[in-house]
């Protein structure tokens, strides 16, 4: 999962910087619509990071778990993630 980890960490740095920018915008009383546009961008960035992490998990941890005979555990974890994502 190292490529996914590296990509996720880069995106997380971007998100952290973006959040700092949003904080500054709020402190400076910037126009609400402009702030909201930035929060939407952060949300999309988080969703992309989640997607990268999930794909990395599917290609590494899930495959490994199935090879080790832990299908029930793997399916249970994926089911939990699915339910959490759809709340």
Q: Where are the domains of the chain?
A: 2-85
Which pLDDT value is given to residue 34?
Answer: 98
Q: CB count, 10 Å around CB of 3?
A: 12
Q: To 10 degrees, what angle do helices 32-57 and 2-27 make?
A: 170
pLDDT recorded at residue 2: 75
Annotation: CATH topology of 2-85: Methane Monooxygenase Hydroxylase; Chain G, domain 1 (1.20.58)
Residue ranges in the chain whose pLDDT is less than 70: 1
What is the structure's pLDDT at 1? 56
């Amino acid at each position: 999962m190292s490529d996914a980890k590296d990509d996720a960490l880069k995106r997380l740095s971007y998100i952290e910087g973006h959040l700092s920018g949003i904080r500054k915008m709020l402190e400076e009383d910037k126009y609400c619509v402009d702030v909201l546009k930035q929060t939407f961008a952060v949300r999309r960035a988080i969703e992309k990071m989640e997607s990268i992490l999930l794909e990395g998990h599917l290609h590494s941890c899930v495959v490994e778990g199935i090879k080790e005979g832990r299908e029930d555990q793997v399916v249970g974890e994926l089911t939990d993630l699915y339910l959490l994502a759809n709340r």
